[in-house]
Amino acid sequence: MATVEIRDVRKSYGPVEAIKGIDIAIRDGEFLVLLGPSGCGKSTLLRMVAGLEGITGGEIAIGGRVVNHLEPKDRDIAMVFQNYALYPHMTVFDNMAYGLKIRGIPKTEIRARVDKAAEILELGRFLERRPSQLSGGQRQRVAMGRAIVREPAAFLFDEPLSNLDAKLRTQMRVEIKRLQDRLRITSLYVTHDQVEAMTLADRILVMNHGVAEQIGTPLEVYQRP
C-alpha cells in the first residue's frame, strides 16, 4: 500500500507555476528522495505534503486518506528541518517528549517511546542535558528522535543536513541510513546533494522547473545519459 500519494499536484504563486503536475506514490516503508537544483520546487512540494502550503490543484493522500484540507498536525507526518529548532530551555528528554505531551499521550507511554528512540539513536546518556550541552550531531539526532517518537505514517525531511560541515554531514547521512534500515518509515527527503540522494534513496524523483524529469532507483537515474 502506498503511504503518501501525490496525484497531479500543482502549485501557482500568482502567475508563477512552481509545480506543474507531479504524480508519485511513495510506497509503505520507501525512502523517496526529491532531488533537483535550487528553485525547482522541491520544498514547495514537501511543504504541500506537510500542509504548510496550500495546493492549487490535485490531491495528496497519506495512509489512504486525502489530506488536502487537513491542518499539518492532523496529517500523521513528522518533519525534520535543517535548523533543528530544539527548545533551548528544555532537556533532551523534554524536547523529544513535547510533541507527545501536547497530544495528550499518557506519561508512561511517553517515557517508553522516548527511551526506545533514545536507545536507537544512542542518546540515552544525554536525556537530562540541554541542547547547548550537545554536539551538532547529537542535536540533529535529538531532532530525529522528536520525529520518531511520534510514530508517524511518514517522515518529511527538508534538507536536514545542509547546514552541517562536511564531516558531520557524512556522519549524519550514515546515521539516517542506519535508522531507515532499522525502522523502514515511509520518507520523503528533499536535497540538492547527489551523494545524499544516491546513498539514501530507494527511489529518486528528479525535479526540474516544477516537473518530474525522472523517477527511478539511484542506478536507473545515474545510468541514464
Which residues bind to ligand ADP, rule: CB under 6 A?
Answer: 13, 16, 18, 36, 38-44
Q: Which is nearer to ligand ADP, 39 or 124 (CB)?
A: 39
Q: How far apart are CA 201 and CA 184, in angstroms?
A: 12
Q: What is the closest distance, in whole angstroms, from the C-beta atom of residue 21 to ligand ADP in the complex?
A: 14
Nearer to ligand ADP, 19 or 110 (CB): 19
Least Å distance, CB 112 to ligand ADP, is: 35
CB-nearer residue toward ligand ADP: 63 or 210: 210
CB of 26 vs ligand ADP, minimal distance in Å:
18
Is the Cβ of residue 97 or residue 188 nearer to ligand ADP in the bound state?
Answer: 188
Quickly list DSSP for the chain: -EEEEEEEEEEEETTEEEEEEEEEEEETT-EEEEE--TTSSHHHHHHHHHTSS--SEEEEEETTEE-TTS-GGGS-EEEE-SS----TTS-HHHHHHHHHHTTT--HHHHHHHHHHHHHHTT-GGGTTS-GGGS-HHHHHHHHHHHHHTT--SEEEEESTTTTS-HHHHHHHHHHHHHHHHHH---EEEEES-HHHHHHH-SEEEEEETTEEEEEE-HHHHHH--
Closer CB to ligand ADP, residue 46 or residue 121?
A: 46
Min separation Cβ 42 and ligand ADP, Å: 4
Residue 214 CB, shortest distance to ligand ADP, in Å, is 15
Question: Nearest distance from residue 128's CB to ligand ADP, in Å?
Answer: 33
- Residue of 41, 51, 18 lying closest to 192 (CA atoms): 41
**CB-wise, 44 or 180, nearer to ligand ADP?**
44
